[in-house]
């Protein structure tokens, strides 16, 4: 005879075979985003030392050239010397490994059948270069504006647009997303078009009042500068923008452009200035404020 307790025990054993019993261990959920290790894009072997030497020698040459002319004719010499001087300091900082930081770039890729992947890239950005450009490019514009004889309103508009262009380039370089990078980049390109308008329209209109030799010099050296300045955003787009170039390739490209836009521009301008009947700048530039600007303290009556 079968006892009831035996039936109950047999039922328990059968149910354990039919119904799976889970172990108490917990399993973590599958992540929707798979992170990767950070990737660093930094400088290797570059030519910053070579560019530093070129800028330094150019600065010394411009100083020597300025001593050979009277102070009335040193306006372009002084401005051009400041251009390569600031560039010398900038490239010295880059040559010794200073004046740089890392921009954090987040790259997320969405997949259909596997979890999304997210990549953290840290790209080295030399902010010293942007400080250099914020000082030297307005001085370059002053050289061209004074050569053409542009009015003060056009000069101020061109310089402000230039500063906006350079600063937005710096913001774009440190942008963490494509929207930030290319948004700042687009506005900077618009600012560049404002500069082109001022030099081509206002500058050309102003230089027509001068002699034919000065007009040809402004057209040639101004066109040379604008063509070079078009290449800067192209290098930025290939380098910092899309990251198709390494940091080394980007620095070499900028170094070549800086040599052309500063020392070559400076020697071209000063040699042409010396060969022509350059106008003199009198007044405060060469003689000071004089009696008109002095402060007189009269004796009490």
Task: Spell out the domain ranges in the chain.
Answer: 41-107+125-276
- Per residue in 243-282, pLDDT (tens digit) is 888 888 899 999 999 999 999 999 999 998 877 666 667 6
Please report the pLDDT score of residue 172 as a whole number. Answer: 93
Please report the pLDDT score of residue 284 as a whole number. Answer: 65
- Which residues have a Cβ under 8 Å from the Cβ of 97 and sit 6 or more positions away? none
pLDDT at 199 over 90: yes
Please report the pLDDT score of residue 241 as a whole number. Answer: 86
65-81: average pLDDT = 90
Q: Which residue has the higher pLDDT, 170 or 274?
A: 170
Tokens of 195: 């500069």
Mean pLDDT of the chain: 83
Cα three-residue angle 65-261-83, rounded to 5 degrees: 50
Superfamily name and number for 41-107+125-276 = Rhodopsin 7-helix transmembrane proteins (1.20.1070.10)
- Percent of the chain exceeding pLDDT 70 equals 75
Tokens of 34: 């798979």
Please report the pLDDT score of residue 240 as a whole number. Answer: 87
pLDDT at 179 over 80: yes
**Contacts within 8 Å (CB) and 24+ apart, 20-24:** none
pLDDT at 161 over 60: yes
45-73: average pLDDT = 89
Please report the pLDDT score of residue 248 as a whole number. Answer: 87
pTM of full prediction above 0.95: no
Q: How confident is the model at residue 122 (pLDDT cuts 50, 70, 90)?
A: confident
Please report the pLDDT score of residue 301 as a whole number. Answer: 45
Cα three-residue angle 126-167-83, rounded to 5 degrees: 70
Q: What is the DSSP code (8-state) at residue 199?
A: I
- Per residue in 3-56, pLDDT (tens digit) is 555 555 655 555 555 555 555 555 555 555 555 566 667 776 567 889 999 999
- Per residue in 89-121, pLDDT (tens digit) is 999 999 988 888 988 877 777 766 667 677 788
Q: Are the CB atoms for 137 and 87 separated by under 8 Å?
A: no
In angstroms, the Cα distances linking 146 to 218, 249, 270 are: 10, 35, 13
């Amino acid at each position: 005879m079968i006892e009831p307790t035996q039936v109950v025990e047999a039922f328990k054993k059968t149910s354990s075979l039919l119904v799976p019993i889970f172990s108490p261990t917990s399993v973590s959920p599958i992540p929707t985003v798979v992170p990767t290790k950070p990737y660093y894009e930094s400088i290797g072997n570059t030519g910053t030392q070579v560019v530093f030497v070129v800028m330094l020698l150019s600065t010394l040459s411009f100083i020597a050239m300025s001593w050979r002319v009277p102070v009335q004719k040193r306006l372009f010499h002084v401005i051009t010397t400041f251009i390569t001087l600031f560039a010398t300091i900038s490239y010295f900082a880059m040559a010794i490994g200073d004046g740089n930081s890392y921009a954090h770039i987040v790259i997320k890729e969405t997949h259909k059948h596997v979890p999304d992947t997210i990549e953290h890239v840290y790209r080295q950005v030399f902010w010293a270069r942007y400080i250099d450009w914020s000082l030297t490019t307005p001085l370059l514009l002053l050289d061209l504006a004074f050569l053409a004889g542009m009015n003060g309103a056009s000069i101020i508009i061109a310089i402000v647009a230039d500063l906006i262009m350079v600063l937005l380039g710096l913001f774009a370089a440190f942008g963490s997303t494509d929207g930030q990078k290319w948004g700042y980049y687009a506005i900077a390109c618009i600012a560049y078009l404002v500069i082109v308008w001022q030099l081509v329209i206002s500058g050309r209109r102003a230089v027509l009042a001068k002699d034919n030799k000065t007009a040809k010099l402004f057209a040639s050296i101004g066109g040379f500068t604008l063509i070079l300045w078009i290449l800067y955003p192209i290098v930025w787009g290939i380098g910092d923008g899309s990251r198709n170039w390494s940091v080394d390739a980007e620095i070499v490209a900028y170094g070549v452009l800086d040599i052309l836009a500063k020392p070559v521009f400076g020697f071209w301008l000063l040699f042409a200035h010396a060969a022509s009947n350059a106008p003199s700048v009198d007044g405060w530039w060469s003689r000071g404020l004089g009696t008109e600007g002095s402060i007189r303290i009269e004796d009490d009556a």
